[in-house]
Amino acid sequence: MSAQVTAKNGMLFIASCSHNMDLPNFIEQVAAGVNDAKRSGRILHTCFAAPDHPTHPMLPESAYLKGLLLVLD
């Protein structure tokens, strides 16, 4: 839905805070949504939690927050 309402050449920021959604799957799902909206776009930036929310090396689910900034054609 968000890709459908983003203006042409507009920016879309989308995020997930689920540890069940890893980054490759998140990118794949966002790309599918953009494609379903009959749009194309580019990822301008990938972001993660701020330094005050560090990822624990023995606890992969602590890397739960991820976001993508896209520009949609």
Q: Which residues of 37-72 are buried (b: 16+ CB within 10 A; e: fewer)?
A: bebebeeeeeeeeeeeeeeeeeeeeebbbbebebeb
Residue 15 counted as domain residue: yes
- The predicted-structure confidence for 5-54, as pLDDT tens digits, reads as follows 999 999 999 999 999 999 999 999 999 999 999 999 999 999 999 999 89
Residue 22 counted as domain residue: yes
Q: What is the pTM of this model?
A: 0.90
Residue 36 counted as domain residue: yes
Q: Which residues pair with 17 in a beta bridge?
A: none
- The predicted-structure confidence for 30-43, as pLDDT tens digits, reads as follows 999 999 999 999 99
- Domain with 40 in it: 9-52+64-72
Cβ-based neighbour number of residue 30 at 10 Å: 19
Residue 31 counted as domain residue: yes
Residue 14 counted as domain residue: yes
Residue 25 counted as domain residue: yes
What integer pLDDT is reported at residue 24 of this predicted model?
A: 96
Residue 28 counted as domain residue: yes
Listed in sequence order, the DSSP H helices in 1-73 are 2-5, 23-36
